[in-house]
Amino acid sequence: QVQLVESGGGLVQPGGSLRLTCAASGSIFSIDFQAWYRQAPGKQREWVASITSGGSTNYADSVKGRFTISRDNAKNTVSLQMSSLKSEDTAVYFCYAQGIRGSGIYDAALWGQGTQVTVSS
């Protein structure tokens, strides 16, 4: 009934930009916390950025100054604007939501299916 769907992934050249969007669908009233994670082949999933319902943001050191996370509480979406992309940013990117409330939902957490980002010439 409730799901997260990422979009915007693809192939981009080093130094380029890309914007990812995660849409939460279903009978949702609010979401307390949203974040982006990424996972490269053979590597553990790592946290990239997060944002609270109040708009407070945090970033991993590896992306600070290059990535920007934002959310639209009315639309229940969260985005990740990525700039000055490097080959090291290549990974599957996942969105995550925690503290989901809705009809018959008091507190839920979900992961999206992931979207591939490839930075290469």
> Chain-wide mean pLDDT for the chain?
96
Which token pair is 49?
A: 């950025």
Give the tens place of pLDDT for each residue, 10-22: 999 999 999 999 9
Q: How far apart are CA 29 and CA 87, in angstroms?
A: 38
Helix, strand, coil tally for the chain in percent (to 5): 0, 60, 35
Q: Are 12 and 18 in contact (CB under 8 A)?
A: yes
Residue 117 pLDDT more than 90?
A: yes
**What is the per-residue pLDDT for 89?**
98
CA nearest to 34, candidates 90, 91, 110 = 110
Residue 118 pLDDT more than 90?
A: yes
Q: How far apart are CA 99 and CA 97, in angstroms?
A: 7
